[in-house]
Amino acid sequence: MYFSVIVPVYGIEDCLCDSVDSILNQSFEDFELILVDDGSPDKCPDICDAYAKKDGRVRVIHKENGGQADARKAGLRLAKGKYIVYIDGDDMVEESMLEDACKLLEKYHVDLVSFAYASGAGSDRKAYSQAICEPVAEGYYDKERMKREIYPKLLSDKYSKAMFYTLCIKAIKRELIYSCQMDVDSRSRLCEDIMCIVPAYLKADRIYISHKVEYYYRYRPESSSRLFQTSKFYELILGLQFFEKLPVSYACDFSGQIDRYALSISFNMLDAAAKGGDREQLSEICRYFEDPVLKRHISDAHLKKMTVKKRITARLMRLNKIKYAWRFLRACALIKERFG
């Protein structure tokens, strides 16, 4: 078995068929599709079983809800493929994805291939965005080139550029990804992808970066990844603690990258909270900003070319003026809402 395609499934009955069909219609045939029903409360379990009955390449796991990382672990334990491909159940892929991945894996003998993606809504891929590519040149990277060009962008360089955090646009050797996936703290749903991909990059000897669009990220306003919850700050702190323990011996300013990642993600989440306008969340958010791990990394973070909005917010966060930062971001949101 060449590829094992693992798809966590939860609450996506309206778009699951688009995703599964795009996988089963691959031009490359040597693969298995593992659908992991993560305790989905809708019709997804029945849809998964129906596909398994129609196509022998489909295997289904039914389990209690444990989150995406937990579902991926369950699928990975069952996987037989030499290479692992993760796909989210509400997204779609090009029918050539596995064939193109195989060609690159065989030609360059790499441990990991990463593709470009496009984003949009609905099932019409032609309406999706132009290619969104990794922030490095297309091509083959050996270990030395990775140290120079990939590692400085694992979390964030000084200009907020970073390698794609998502696992879903990649094909990765099973023996490489297995331990990385199993080490992910499933409690941190915010950081579950990056907790896996960063160690994978550090362990890989050779990779290939492609700028060809093979993945279609489907924007869904109701997606759980887009809904702000104060617990995401706790999940961020778990992620920061995870990164602090990674044995990074290369000169890639990794401690500085952790600082910049903490600042940028905190800004994004505080901005999302302010746009929501729920003042009752503010006290709990302020308590998270008192955490010494988060506080230290935000204080030490240095980014270049920040927007005025981000620079002011970062200054207020460093001064621990979280309520003022929230009010400032709330005012920005209301002004944009009124005047566009």
SS3 9: strand
314, two tokens: 């970062």
Q: In which element (H, E) is residue 289 found?
A: helix 282-289
- Per the prediction, the chain carries an average pLDDT of 95
Token pair for 238: 């778990």
For residue 221, the model assigns a pLDDT of: 65
Least confident of 181-195, 213-227, 251-265, 282-296: 213-227
Helix, strand or coil for residue 301? coil
pLDDT band at residue 159, thresholds of 50, 70 and 90? very high
pLDDT of residue 224 exceeding 50: no
Return all residues near 198 (Cβ < 8 A) that are at least 6 apart: 154, 155, 243, 246
* DSSP string over 28-87: ---EEEEEEEES-SSSHHHHHHHHHHH-TTEEEEEE----HHHHHHHHHHH---SEEEE-
Domain range list for the chain? 3-218, 231-339
pLDDT of 8 above 90: yes
User: Sign of dihedral through CA atoms 86, 90, 94, 96?
Assistant: positive
Residue 91: what pLDDT? 96
**Quick one: pLDDT at residue 27?**
98
| pLDDT attached to residue 222 | 59
pTM given for the model: 0.94
User: Could you tell me how many residues make up the chain?
Assistant: 340
Q: Which CATH architecture has domain 3-218?
A: Alpha-Beta Complex (3.90)
- From the centroid of its chain, how far is CA 129? 18
Determine contact, residues 10/42, Cβ cutoff 8 Å: no
For the chain, helix (H) and strand (E) counts, in that order, are 13, 9
CB–CB of 256/302 below 8 Å?
A: yes
Q: What is the pLDDT of residue 219?
A: 85
The yes-or-no verdict on residue 89 having pLDDT over 90 is yes
